[in-house]
Amino acid sequence: PEADEILSQRGVVVVPDVLANAGGVTVSFFEWQQNVQNVKWTEAEVLAKLEPIMVNAFNEVWETKEKYNVPMRTAAFVKAVERVASKMKI
């Protein structure tokens, strides 16, 4: 967190680990899909599927950061809590 503040003061955007690691988790899901469907995607196909998901996730976190004027790491957790809360509503 201290490093985040220093980097922020220097104008460096820090992508929080929880957001960056989502790419690996998503690709693991893609691997599962391929196994279930008995297909094999090329690297280009995987990247084409992954990019819009990650860009959307980044944009949602960025918008949350701007909305609440908080660091990216906090915004990522706020967005996660908002998603869980919205799914819990009956």
pLDDT digits (tens, 9 = 90+) for 1-40: 788 889 988 999 899 999 999 999 999 999 999 999 999 9
Is-contact 54 23, C-beta < 8 A? yes
Q: Quote the domain boundaries for residue 14.
A: 7-88
d(CA 24, CA 27): 5
In a domain, 68, yes or no: yes
pLDDT of amino acid 22: 95
pLDDT for res 90: 60
Report pLDDT for 25.
97
Nearest by Cα to 28 from 11, 46, 15, 52: 46
The reported pTM is 0.86
The residue type found at 36 is: V
Q: Is residue 21 part of a domain?
A: yes
Identify whether 12 is part of a domain: yes
Mean of per-residue pLDDT scores for the chain = 94
- Domain assignment of residue 19, yes or no: yes
Is position 1 within any domain?
Answer: no
Residue 2 in any domain: the answer is no
- pLDDT of residue 48 exceeding 90, the answer is yes
Number of domains in the chain: 1
The answer as to whether 49 is a domain residue is yes
